[in-house]
Amino acid sequence: MGFSSVEDTHFPINRHLRLKDKLFDLSTPKVMGIVNLTPDSFYQSSRISADKELLKQVESMLNYGMDILDLGGYSSRPGAKNVSIQEEIDRVKGPIQQIKNAFPSLPLSLDTFRSDVAEVGINEGIEIINDISAGLLDDRILDVVAAAKVPYIAMHMQGNMETVHNTFEYGELFNELVRYFSERISTLQSKGIHDIILDPGFGFSKSIEQNYQLLNQLDQFQLLEKPILVGFSRKSMIYKKLNKTAEESLNGTTVLNTIALSKGASILRVHDVKEAKEIISLLF
């Protein structure tokens, strides 16, 4: 029995996003680098504060081949403190301006579930909105995204920001996620949002076992005919299973990213750009 190539798992679905007046090609998987503009991100090395340090970090990630940069001013780690909308805006507005000035061609994504933050970000040059709630925590964000005609990443989660890291019971996990995404896609398209990326939400509202069950079924999400983003990077589903720390979880992250690519993932959201790009270079 012969083995199919990794490329064969990338089914002939829409593999392009429109970023303003340009088409962004996802026929080869892309790497989304993470910069957390928060004082309490779970992975300390991803926290950025000083202006020079920020630009140096972004330049380093670009040199390693980063395709998209994802910025976030609200930590979704377990136990993180809630911050006001204005504080979140204050955390992200200046860095967006600095990065756009220094690297004008770099596509920027903003990790937020708040419509006011998304609106400010888009006005400053953000080209993708990455919403962990898929519009369920602040439905006005869908109107903001639709008006701006920017791509939208819809993640699966349950509950609210206080309970998002609890383990939830599911009848059939994969089937429930398909129903969730089908409903979200229908709602988004009714708003006029058609550049949609799906994120199964590894580490959110799921046990360690549920996360790995979902990874094993990742290729089946192709039936939804949307690009898939995965975010395993140094998460507890790795370091708790290995009895290590987030800082010791790069190898585990690389293994899971490799599996995800073999199952059709289009975007790897990572802290470690160099290693992620090397996986893609080896497989594609």
Give catalytic residue positions. Answer: 235, 269
- Could you give the CA distance from residue 269 to residue 187 in angstroms, rounded to a whole number? 25
Query: 244: buried, middle or exposed (CB in 10 Å: 19+, 13-18, 0-12)?
Result: middle
| β pairing state of 152-155 and 196-199 | parallel
- The count of other CB atoms within 10 Å of the CB of residue 3 is 6
Q: Which amino acid is at 149?
A: K
Taking alpha carbons only, the member of 61, 123, 93 closest to residue 277 is 61
Query: Could you tell me if 250 and 218 are in contact, meaning their C-beta atoms sit under 8 angstroms apart?
Result: no
Give, in order, the Cα–Cα distances in Å from 270 to each of 67, 228, 234: 11, 14, 8
- Could you give the CA distance from residue 233 to residue 270 in angstroms, rounded to a whole number? 5
